[in-house]
Structure 1
Amino acid sequence: MTGKIDFQPKLFSTLRHYSAERFKDDLVAGVVVGIVALPLAIAFGIASGVSPTIGLITAIIGGFLVSAFGGNSVQIGGPTGAFIVIVYSIIQNFGITGLAVATVMAGLILVLLGMFHLGTVIKFIPYPIVVGFTSGIALTIFSTQINDFLGLGLTNVPGDFISKWGIYFSNLGNVDFYTVLVGIVSLVIITATPLISKKLPGSLIAIIVVTAATFMLERFLPGFNVETIGDRFGALSTDIPAPQGFEFTMNSVNLLLPSAFTIAILCAIESLLSATVADGVTGSRTNSNTELIGQGIANIVVPFFGGIPVTGAIARTMTNITNGGRTPVAGIVHTLVLLLIFLFMMPLINMVPMSCLAAVLIVVAYNMSGWRTVVGIMHSPKSDVSVLVVTFLLTVIFDLTIAIEIGLLLAIILFLRRVMENTQIRVYSEQLDAAEGSDTTLHEVLDVAKGVEVYEIDGPFFFGVATKFDEIMRSSMSEKPVVRIIRMRRVPFIDATGVHNLELLVRSSQKLGIHVVLSGVSEQVHNVLSKAGIEDLVGADHVCDHITRAVIMANRIAESSARHNTL
């Protein structure tokens, strides 16, 4: 950990200069966001394999904690579509208790990421990976909604993508006309609403209109019948569940750690992506480390109330911004709106058709797919395209956990490859321009005596480059030199492998009677070499702050050796 814990929730700083005028704007924005979040919380809860009640509980408690302890002023937290696949998979394999354990562990991981100041690092996860698994999740969400949208009535739908579609195609004869009609009407309303007003929540309008229409048709049209939330889940509870514990065992921790890691990384990426988008619109600045800690707190607490993973939601956050929300108070208001709906309007939610919710999620999946972005990346370098395609296919065909792990591994490999390609190692003999590669117009050409070899490393000296340096040094040796100068003015850091290889080089050179001189070592690298004993190994006088001094020393040693050999 570097420095003190960076935990400065935006809510606390906001309240110091809060005003009635600001509260009015936050109140309006919070009410609108609460209304927009209602159908999404219900739909995400059901699609994740839990009840709509759990979806709302997650939005209420998790959303409150994200706003109270997060590092972004306008972030709206709650369940999101990105988690549907992983949550559903965990419940299928480990049950609700397994999901709770995984979510708490994910929360702890997020808190640790924030405490160790890794918030800014998460932002640099390659974009093709984010697009790849987001598009994969979108396609998976779409595939999970076909059963409800078509009214196939399947009760044991396979979890894997290919088998699922095989079952769908073999049961197309069971399509229910009225269910499909309700779904299509819902889609039309959701997509047409923004054409009338971008501020109207299309999903909520669709739910209200379609629910009212189906309620009337069931009473006046014989044979009209579509499955509703109440039909599938029974009467929904209006009581906030009491906190409940669950058992942690080493076996469950070992089994669920990969899933917890996936939830944490997904939450970090989505939350910080949402925060970055919000910053671009509002001009504010997110404290990434505080945001991760706030997200972690929410994910630690929510499972004790039966909730599912929480993260920042881009669509709801943007709705908050466009309606005037500028402080975390708007996010807290949105959770209070959801709480009031939960306490007093749950009987009405029982009447919502399942095919209408399926339509809501199909639109969510389409918006998540980012197909235009995918098309754009297809014109990028082949390495980016390959990362996107591999991550997408792994997400769809196998598992999101595998997709993220392999996607990150691919990204690291490609990053190391690019660093190695950009890290140059130059070899000089006879003459050297001390100012080469700098902005100065004054050039100092140094004469390098025979028997002196100069190796300049331009870039970080980590394990990959250390091996590359060793290979170049061996291949460039025509005859045994007297002095090797290793110029390190452009080495920003050195890792343990670099230190180890440098130590081996020094020791092997000294055995052969070759002097090693280090030049232009930065303070940070110097400290590392000093602690590792490299400075003592080469001799403090052989560590020079400038190439001119290093060349003068090396020339003197080479000339002395030449005179000695002629005697």
Structure 2
Amino acid sequence: MFELHASKVSSLKNDVLSGLTVALALVPEAVAFAFVAGVEPLVGLYAAFMVGLITAAIGGRPGMISGATGAMAVVMVSLVAIHGVQYLFATVVLTGVIQILAGVFKLGKFIRLVPHPVMLGFVNGLAIVIFLAQLGQFKVTNEAGELVWMQGNQLYTMAGLIVLTMAIIHFLPKLTKAVPSSLVAIVVVTVLVQSLGLDARTVVDFVRDMTNDPAASIAGGFPEFAIPMVPFNLETFKIILPFALVLAAIGLIESLLTLTLIDELTGTRGRGNRECIAQGVANTTTGFFGGMGGCAMIGQSMINVNSGGRGRASGITAALALLCFILFASGLIEQIPLAALVGVMFIVVIGTFEWSSFRILNKVPKADAFVIILVSGVTVATDLAIAVVVGVIVSALVFAWEHAKHIIVNRTVDENGSTVYEVNGPLFFGSVSNFLEQFEMDNDSDDVIVEFKNARVADHSAIEAIDTLAERYLSRNKTMHLRHLSPECRQLMKKAGDLVEVNVIEDPDYHIATDKLA
């Protein structure tokens, strides 16, 4: 799916260097998402450190980077505005508990229900979101304290440095892969700006513009443990529960989909249920240490994989390096030009977007093409959780509509004079009407056999349809036998109960998704 310079070989050196690169890119992202959520920059930076460290250490997908994300930040903003930051911390703790329970009950396997068109739409939509997020770096504060688009030489300098960064990232791997090209690009552009005294916006400029504080900085101390200062009563629980459920769902969906993408890129397999538990532990912990919570970050994960990060050491290095930036090296990190980080993210956008989707739109079924475009648009307009849910629902409805036409009932008469109906295809809520219409009850013999060997009884609607069929034959004083019906269906039958012909040896066993691979 991705056309990135991704090495398949894991090494400690690559993990450490790629982790340093990711840490540099985490700083403006964490600050920006903290601003979106309406909290202090350090709240976002602490979240990026703690969530990143814990998920890297115990998560189900080595090489995946987690931290504060925009998808979760947009949900937090109303909570913070109405109830304050302490309620946010309590919500993040509850979010983590819900995510842990999702992992314990092995709900991670359900990510396999996401169709490929939805995955393509998710990837394309997130690439667009990442691109649009970078446009905010082109704004500066004017004399009135308002954010306006940069102009003139400052804009040209910014654009030139971005192009230089992207060129280094693109061409350096053709010469050597000894060090991550993204890290080299950031260092080269930073040295160039500082040595030539170019008028280029830096990380500290971005922080001060976001906070509207000329003295703002990313410097801080080690995060301290503190129980959220909220009343421990039912009223508080009613306030934070809805937010916690939404945050837990968004965090798990984004994390599990990112896990799937990293699996595809690296040719390995992550463990979804373990990742659910790790995300939960990380959010529960960060809520007690003054962080805003988070989940997997597709942009930073792509930077990590593209830079050679494959093992847990890459995510651990990124988190620890970010903490060191906060404690000891804030002055140095704040001098990094934003253009270098924007250039890195633009490369991520190019590598993440599934460009071949333009080519296949005319080749795939129209419904799949519609789902790709729909999920991409909804991801940009709202958030990825809603987009994925919408995509899955639309895909399911299309599937149901198409398969509703595939139920075929063949009518024959056997050697005993009994009317035999052989059902072929899936029997479910979408096909029950067509199923019932194919029986000629008034023309059938007094003994009717319905053969389900080549059919799949899928849901309660199908069972109710069989009950209805049995009731209609009973009203005509005719006997109906059901052959090769699954044991689960036989137990749920009402009207047809005594008319089920048990044939255990040949009855099929219908399997559902198992937890073995989760």
CA separation of 1:335/1:353 partners in 2, compared to 1, >3 Å: closer, same or farther?
closer
Give runs of aligned pairs for residues 330-479 of structure 1, distance below 5 A.
331-421=315-405, 423-430=406-413, 447=415, 449=417, 452-459=419-426, 461-473=427-439, 476-477=440-441, 479=443
Q: Is the 8 A contact 2:21 2:318 kept in 1?
A: no
Q: Is the 8 A contact 2:99 2:279 kept in 1?
A: yes
> Is 1:315 aligned with 2:265?
no
Give how far 1:532 is off: 4.6
Match of 1:205 in 2: 184
Match of 1:442 in 2: none
Q: Secondary structure at the match of 1:239?
A: coil
Q: Is the 8 A contact 1:452 1:485 kept in 2?
A: yes
Give runs of aligned pairs for residues 17-96 of structure 1, distance below 5 A.
27-50=12-35, 53-54=42-43, 56-72=45-61, 74-79=62-67, 83-84=69-70, 86-95=71-80
Distance (whole Å) between structure 2 residues aligned to residue 299 and residue 375 of structure 1:
40
Alignment-mate amino acid for residue 407 of structure 2: Q
Q: Is the 8 A contact 2:19 2:314 kept in 1?
A: no
Q: Secondary structure at the match of 2:421?
A: strand
1:406-425 per-position Cα deviation (integer Å, ceiling 9, x unaligned): 2222122123234434x433
Rg bigger for which structure?
A: 1
Q: Secondary structure at the match of 1:286?
A: coil
Give how far 1:127 is off: 1.9
Match of 1:17 in 2: none
Give how far 1:149 is off: 2.4
Q: Is the 8 A contact 1:149 1:354 kept in 2?
A: no
Structure 2: tracts of 5 or more residues without a match: 1-9, 231-235, 507-518
How big is the alpha-carbon RMSD for the aligned residues of Structure 1 and Structure 2?
Answer: 3.5
Give how far 1:387 is off: 0.8
Match of 1:511 in 2: 475
Distance (whole Å) between structure 1 residues aligned to residue 184 and residue 287 of structure 2:
31
Find the partner of 1:238 among 196, 206, 220: 220
Distance (whole Å) between structure 1 residues aligned to residue 352 and residue 382 of structure 2:
19
Give how far 1:104 is off: 4.8
Distance (whole Å) between structure 1 residues aligned to residue 385 and residue 326 of structure 2:
33
1:63-117 per-position Cα deviation (integer Å, ceiling 9, x unaligned): 3322332234x3333238xx43x23423443335676566555544543443333
Alignment-mate amino acid for residue 543 of structure 1: V
> Is 1:178 aligned with 2:180?
no
> Is 1:111 aligned with 2:100?
yes
Q: Is the 8 A contact 2:185 2:340 kept in 1?
A: yes
1:119-139 per-position Cα deviation (integer Å, ceiling 9, x unaligned): 333033012222223322322
Q: Secondary structure at the match of 2:443?
A: coil
Match of 2:498 in 1: 538
Q: Is the 8 A contact 1:390 1:407 kept in 2?
A: yes
Distance (whole Å) between structure 1 residues aligned to residue 146 and residue 437 of structure 2:
59
Give runs of aligned pairs for residues 74-223 of structure 1, distance below 5 A.
74-79=62-67, 83-84=69-70, 86-95=71-80, 100=89, 103-104=92-93, 106-149=95-138, 151=140, 175-197=151-173, 198=177, 200-218=179-197
Distance (whole Å) between structure 2 residues aligned to residue 101 and residue 369 of structure 1:
36
Q: Secondary structure at the match of 1:370?
A: coil
Match of 1:560 in 2: none
Q: Is the 8 A contact 2:72 2:247 kept in 1?
A: no
Q: Is the 8 A contact 1:519 1:546 kept in 2?
A: no
> Is 1:498 aligned with 2:477?
no
CA separation of 1:104/1:183 partners in 2, compared to 1, >3 Å: closer, same or farther?
farther
Q: Is the 8 A contact 2:92 2:292 kept in 1?
A: no
Q: Secondary structure at the match of 1:137?
A: helix
1:135-182 per-position Cα deviation (integer Å, ceiling 9, x unaligned): 22322332333242264759777xxxxxxxxxxxxx66x524224413
**Which is bigger in relative contact order (C-alpha 8 A, separation at least 6)?**
2
Give how far 1:488 is off: 1.6
Q: Is the 8 A contact 1:126 1:411 kept in 2?
A: yes
Distance (whole Å) between structure 2 residues aligned to residue 303 and residue 97 of structure 1:
9
CA separation of 1:340/1:202 partners in 2, compared to 1, >3 Å: closer, same or farther?
same
Give how far 1:507 is off: 2.5
1:470-525 per-position Cα deviation (integer Å, ceiling 9, x unaligned): 2333xx4462542332212234554222222222222232122121101123xxx2
Distance (whole Å) between structure 1 residues aligned to residue 65 and residue 134 of structure 2:
24
Distance (whole Å) between structure 1 residues aligned to residue 95 and residue 163 of structure 2:
35
Which is further off, 507-516 or 145-154?
A: 145-154
Normalised by the length of structure 1, the TM-score is 0.72
Give how far 1:204 is off: 3.2
> Is 1:294 aligned with 2:278?
yes
Give how far 1:341 is off: 4.1
Alignment-mate amino acid for residue 393 of structure 2: L
Give how far 1:385 is off: 0.7
Which is further off, 225-234 or 407-416?
A: 225-234
Alignment-mate amino acid for residue 491 of structure 2: S
Q: Is the 8 A contact 1:91 1:98 kept in 2?
A: no
> Is 1:488 aligned with 2:452?
yes
Distance (whole Å) between structure 2 residues aligned to residue 149 and residue 193 of structure 1:
21
Q: Is the 8 A contact 2:258 2:297 kept in 1?
A: yes
Distance (whole Å) between structure 2 residues aligned to residue 362 and residue 151 of structure 1:
20
Q: Secondary structure at the match of 1:380?
A: coil
1:199-224 per-position Cα deviation (integer Å, ceiling 9, x unaligned): 54344334333333433444xx7xx4
> Is 1:526 aligned with 2:475?
no
Q: Is the 8 A contact 1:76 1:316 kept in 2?
A: no
Give how far 1:348 is off: 0.8
CA separation of 1:337/1:28 partners in 2, compared to 1, >3 Å: closer, same or farther?
farther
Match of 2:3 in 1: none
Distance (whole Å) between structure 2 residues aligned to residue 334 and residue 42 of structure 1:
11
Give how far 1:48 is off: 2.1
Q: Is the 8 A contact 1:99 1:308 kept in 2?
A: no
Q: Secondary structure at the match of 2:137?
A: helix
Normalised by the length of structure 2, the TM-score is 0.78
Alignment-mate amino acid for residue 256 of structure 2: A
Give how far 1:316 is off: 5.0
Find the partner of 2:204 among 225, 229, 234: 229
